């Protein structure tokens, strides 16, 4: 890519956000985190109470990109074949021979929305593991490659427990970011009421193509990060492990810490955040900002923490206060 190509590509990111914001009011932090997940080549888990436009956000993102989009509504009776696809017996009318043909499921798309992923049993949830990690599907001994780029966004409701199946820790770790959606501010909610109850319908135009998304993902990996900040990320992740940490707060309130995939995710998402802000070097602010969505689903608190209402985000707060940033780094 030439310098002109890079400038042209980065200029599309603010336009992409503007198109999405024609429909989605507020939620700036959430939108940034979704775009960072896409740019870093990972998958995102969105959690929020009903009515906060989780599904609408993903659908609007797909409309703002010239990519295929499929929505899968997860239910208790959903089967793995409903996601991956299945073989059907067909007949060649010319020869009369019968053969099995694989019919691709909705997972074979660029952007896949796994809506209410915690409403389906673990057997069906696990059908996504290979697709998320290897970007391919194996069925009847044959491997089928998913379209590029491939990007899965899952949603879940945090307050409804009856009839739900919490995602196992191994599957949570496959999500690059755990994005929490909060209630809008008073002014944002007023704008929502005004813009969604009239006759005007916002028209979202596609801004990014599939090839441009792949170029963005390559560009993210070329963003520089200093050795000092790499060391800080390493210290931060290792400090989450209660059996080896020197921080009493973690030993007292955590039962499991983050693995090496957390460090990889933190570096990649920090690079993507830098690029989203038209920078080609990671700063300390990038790392401290991305630490929350990267670690909140990878740090497991114990019963004592739950009793005192100590969340993984509070653990990250403590870590960022205790672990000092290296000197002579960009803030």
CATH code of the domain containing 264: 1.10.8.80
Residue 295 resides in a domain = yes
- In the chain the first and final C-alpha atoms are separated, in Å, by 29
The pTM of this model reads: 0.88
| Residue carrying structure tokens 């499921």 | 105
Do 37 and 178 lie in one domain? The reply is yes
**Domain contains 209:** no
Question: What does the pLDDT read at residue 165?
Answer: 80
Quick one: 54 and 172 in the same domain? yes
**Residues 269 and 137 both lie in one domain:** no
Closest C-alpha among 149, 114, 125, 122 to residue 135: 149
Number of H helices and E strands in the chain, helices first, is 15, 13
Residue 115 main-chain phi, psi, to 5 deg: -80, 125
* Count of structural domains within the chain: 2
Q: What is the DSSP letter of 280?
A: S
The answer to whether residue 212 sits within a structural domain is no
Supply 77's token pair.
């009776």
Q: Distance between CA atoms of 276 and 278, rounded to whole angstroms?
A: 5
Query: For residues 54 and 46, is the Cβ–Cβ distance under 8 A?
Result: yes
Q: Outline where the chain has alpha helix (H).
A: 3-20, 28-40, 54-63, 80-84, 122-125, 129-134, 169-172, 186-196, 210-221, 227-238, 248-253, 260-276, 284-295, 303-307, 312-322
Q: Is residue 93 located within the same domain as residue 143?
A: yes
147 and 64, same domain (yes or no):
yes
- Residue 164, φ and ψ in degrees, nearest 5: -120, 160
181 occurs within a structural domain: yes
Pairing of strands 142-145, 136-139: antiparallel
- Residue 186 and residue 68 share a domain: yes
Residues 174, 43 contacting (CB under 8 angstroms): yes
CA 302 to chain centre: 25
pLDDT of res. 296: 92
Q: ∠ CA(105), CA(107), CA(109), 5° rounding? A: 105
Picking from 256, 272, 188, the residue whose alpha carbon sits closest to that of residue 222 is 272
Coil, strand or helix at 250: helix
From first to last of the 331 residues of the chain, give the pLDDT tens digit: 778 888 888 888 889 888 888 888 777 888 899 999 999 999 999 888 777 777 888 888 888 888 888 899 988 888 988 899 888 887 777 777 887 788 888 999 888 999 888 888 888 888 888 888 889 888 888 888 999 899 899 988 877 666 678 888 888 888 999 999 888 888 878 888 877 777 777 788 888 888 898 999 999 999 999 999 999 999 999 999 988 888 889 899 998 888 899 999 999 999 999 999 989 999 999 999 999 999 999 999 999 988 999 999 999 999 999 988 876 565 5
Do 241 and 285 belong to one domain? yes
Does 164 share its domain with 46? yes
**Residue-range definition of the domain harbouring residue 230:** 223-322
Question: Is residue 214 in a domain?
Answer: no
Mark whether 54 and 125 lie in a shared domain: yes
CB half-sphere exposure, 321, CA atoms < 13 A: 9
Out of 179, 197, 215, a domain closes at: 197
The enclosing domain of 129 has a CATH number of 3.40.50.300
Token pair, residue 227, equals 């050795």
| 207 within a domain of the structure (yes/no) | no
Query: Cα dist. 329→9, 89, 228, 237, 326 in Å?
Result: 28, 62, 7, 19, 6
Residues 150, 262 share a domain: no
How far apart CA 190 and CA 113 sit, in angstroms, is: 28
Residue 287 in any domain: the answer is yes
Asked whether residue 48 is assigned to any structural domain, the reply reads yes
Say yes or no: 53 and 181 in one domain: yes
Same domain for 45 and 129: yes
Last residue of a domain, which of 197, 215, 236? Answer: 197
């Amino acid at each position: 890519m030439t310098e002109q190509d890079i400038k042209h590509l980065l200029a599309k990111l603010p336009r992409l956000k503007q198109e999405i914001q024609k429909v989605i009011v507020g939620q700036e932090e959430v939108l940034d985190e979704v775009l960072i997940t896409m740019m870093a080549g990972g998958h995102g888990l969105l959690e929020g109470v009903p009515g906060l436009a989780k599904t609408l956000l993903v659908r609007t993102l797909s409309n703002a990109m010239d990519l295929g989009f499929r929505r899968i509504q997860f239910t208790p009776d959903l089967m793995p074949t409903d996601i991956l696809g299945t073989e059907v017996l067909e007949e060649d009318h010319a020869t009369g021979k019968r053969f099995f043909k694989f019919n691709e499921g909705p997972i074979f798309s660029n952007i896949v929305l796994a809506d209410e992923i915690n409403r389906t049993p673990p057997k069906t949830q696990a059908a996504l593991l290979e697709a998320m990690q290897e970007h391919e599907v194996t069925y009847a001994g044959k491997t089928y490659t998913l379209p590029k780029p491939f990007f899965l966004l899952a949603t879940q409701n945090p307050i409804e427990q009856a009839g739900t199946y919490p995602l196992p820790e191994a599957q949570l770790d496959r999500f690059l970011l755990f994005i929490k959606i909060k209630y809008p501010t008073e002014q944002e909610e007023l704008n929502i009421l005004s813009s969604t109850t009239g006759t005007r319908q916002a028209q979202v135009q596609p801004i990014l193509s599939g090839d441009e998304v792949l170029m963005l993902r390559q560009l993210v990996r070329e963003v520089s990060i200093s050795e000092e900040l790499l060391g800080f990320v390493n210290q931060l992740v290792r400090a989450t492990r209660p059996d080896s940490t020197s921080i009493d707060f973690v030993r007292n309130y955590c039962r499991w810490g983050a693995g090496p995939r957390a460090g990889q995710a933190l570096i990649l998402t920090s690079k993507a955040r830098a690029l989203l802000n038209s920078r080609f070097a990671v700063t300390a602010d990038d790392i401290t900002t991305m630490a929350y969505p990267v670690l909140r689903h990878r740090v497991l608190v114990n019963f004592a923490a739950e009793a005192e209402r100590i969340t993984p985000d509070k653990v990250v707060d403590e870590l960022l206060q205790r672990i000092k940033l290296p000197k002579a780094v960009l803030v």
